[in-house]
Structure 1
Amino acid sequence: MKKTISLSIIFSFIALLLVLQLLPREAIAATDPKQRIFDYANLLTVEEKDNLEIVANQYSAESETDIVILTTNDTQGKDIIPYMQDFYDEQGLGYDKKHGNTAILTLDMKNREVYLAGFYLAEEYLSDGRLDQIRNKITPDLSAANYYDAFTTFIETSSKYMRISPWINPELFIFKLWFQILAPIAIAAIIVGTMAFHSSGRVTVNDRTYLNTAQVMNRKDRYIRTTVTKQRKPSDNNKGGGGGFGGGGTSGGGHSHSGSRGSF
């Protein structure tokens, strides 16, 4: 009984430690009042905008990248990409310096277009492909006018991707919360199971102990053959495509960036 209780305590302690190690750490919010939400299209309530400023401030500090939201009803006759580029140049966006690390979501409400871009370090960590992944995540919420949710997802996912090496797929299951919870529990179970095995007596009974005793018969199954049936795979002549187009570029000020463009 005492051994069972002690093993349970050890199991719980190890599981707790591993969970704490693998779960994402809370970011320490920066104290600067820097604006990162530019909602010129008035899509957000005052409360939503204030909350997003806090979220953007927190995750920008965590990834050392300015994460910015820009919405407009009027791109001043420009395409969405040069509009975003001019905004970046004029505002001097950047986390620790002007024209520095920046991830920006631009929403053109007049033409129902969205463009995501990454400058400097974010150009590497938020490549065109990764920005496509983020845009695919937020497009359903944009189409449903759930702008607060879409912007929150952009901020959180951009920060997450910024902390994963560029050559790794950020959507691998090892980065999912369920895996981060189950993995330490499984590891702890293996450790405790190994400890329990070594602390118990060795089992000396095997499959031959009672063979030919009390008229126990030794039987074997003999493999004869395997039959394989082949079937032609139907061709897919109606493959769907995404709504994305465009990529990165360079601003008038000479700052290159990655990009992903789509409609909603």
Structure 2
Amino acid sequence: MKGLFKNKKSVITLGIAAFMTAFIALPLGGAVCASEAEVVSGDYGFVYDQDDLLTDAEEEALQKKLEEVGEKHDIQIAVVTTGSYSQYTIEEYADDMMDYGELGLKTGNDDSAILLAISMDNREFYESTRGQAIQIFTDSNLYKLEDKFTSYLSSGDYAKAFDRFADGCDDMCTSYENRNKIPAWKWLICVLLGLACGGVTVGVMSSGMKNVKQNNSAAEYEERNNVRISASHDRFIRKSINRVRINNESNSRGGSSTHHSSSGNTHGGHGGHF
């Protein structure tokens, strides 16, 4: 130790180097902390605005709306924004943000959830679905959902885009829940059409029977001794063939394309650029 500090120049050089290291490290450490986004979460989802696209008030309003829609339909809904996702694809990033539960979502394969991930570096988005949400948000429904918010992403109105995303989730969940219900007005139309068709049919039949008189016996229609049957046989004069087409094509139309995430869970989903 005595030999190390024997040269005063060495001491001064080491002191300057230590000071510069501390000076540079301080703002870098502050920058890392500043990039840490707060997760605004509830029982049915969360907002994680890592890329700071929303104000604090907009985050709170969005989380409140996601919570209301999620509780109404018993589904978890989340919105995540990020600058980049390093080694991931946008699909893998969205799946893992949903599955590993670090930001608040339940992690089970049967837990119904939809998560919208936004990457600003590549201007990409992806909607990942899991559980019953795979059946609700079919491929065609995801296209319709994207039509509701992607134009706002492109124009930079992110608060409006996420609000429309929440509205679309609400509409599609409601439609799915009412898929087997027939509205009362449709029942009424069916009854009225049935009565009208039945009335017309009975009226036509009645008008064609005005010249018919009632007879008490079938013998009145018989011509005596004029009918003689000398022979009888069955003759096959026509045939009827019903053909049924067997559809060998995949029954994926109107369904959901699925894949497995790194956690082993099954996911649906779709994404693109804006």
- Shorter-chain TM range is 0.5 to 0.7
Contact 2:95/2:128 (8 A) holds in 1? no
Q: How many residues in Structure 1 have an aligned counterpart in Structure 2?
A: 159
- 1:201-230 per-position Cα deviation (integer Å, ceiling 9, x unaligned): xxxxxxxxxxxxxxxxxxxxxxxxxxxxxx
Radius of gyration: which is bigger? 2
Scaled by the length of structure 1, the TM-score of the pair is 0.55
Q: How does 1:1-264 map to 2 (within 5 A)?
A: 36-91=46-101, 97-99=106-108, 100-165=111-176, 248-264=258-274
Q: Which runs of 5+ in 1 are unaligned?
A: 1-30, 169-173, 175-182, 188-245
Identity of aligned residues (%): 25
RMSD of aligned alpha carbons: 2.8
Q: Which runs of 5+ in 2 are unaligned?
A: 1-40, 189-255
**1:94/1:156 Cα in 2 relative to 1: closer, same or farther (>3 Å)?**
farther
Q: Secondary structure at the residue paired with 1:42?
A: coil
Q: Secondary structure at the residue paired with 1:58?
A: helix
**1:145/1:248 Cα in 2 relative to 1: closer, same or farther (>3 Å)?**
farther
Q: Secondary structure at the residue paired with 1:111?
A: coil
**1:64/1:34 Cα in 2 relative to 1: closer, same or farther (>3 Å)?**
closer
Scaled by the length of structure 2, the TM-score of the pair is 0.53
Q: Secondary structure at the residue paired with 1:91?
A: coil
Contact 1:248/1:257 (8 A) holds in 2? yes
**1:140/1:247 Cα in 2 relative to 1: closer, same or farther (>3 Å)?**
farther
Q: Which amino acid aligns with 1:73?
A: G
Q: Secondary structure at the residue paired with 1:36?
A: strand
C-alpha distance in 1 between matches for 2:104 and 2:172 = 17
C-alpha distance in 2 between matches for 1:258 and 1:33 = 22
C-alpha distance in 2 between matches for 1:156 and 1:251 = 27
C-alpha distance in 2 between matches for 1:79 and 1:147 = 22
Contact 1:40/1:73 (8 A) holds in 2? yes
Displacement of 1:155 after TM fit? 1.1
Q: Which amino acid aligns with 2:80?
A: L
C-alpha distance in 1 between matches for 2:45 and 2:178 = 31
Q: Which amino acid aligns with 2:48?
A: F
C-alpha distance in 2 between matches for 1:62 and 1:129 = 23
Q: Which amino acid aligns with 2:138?
A: S
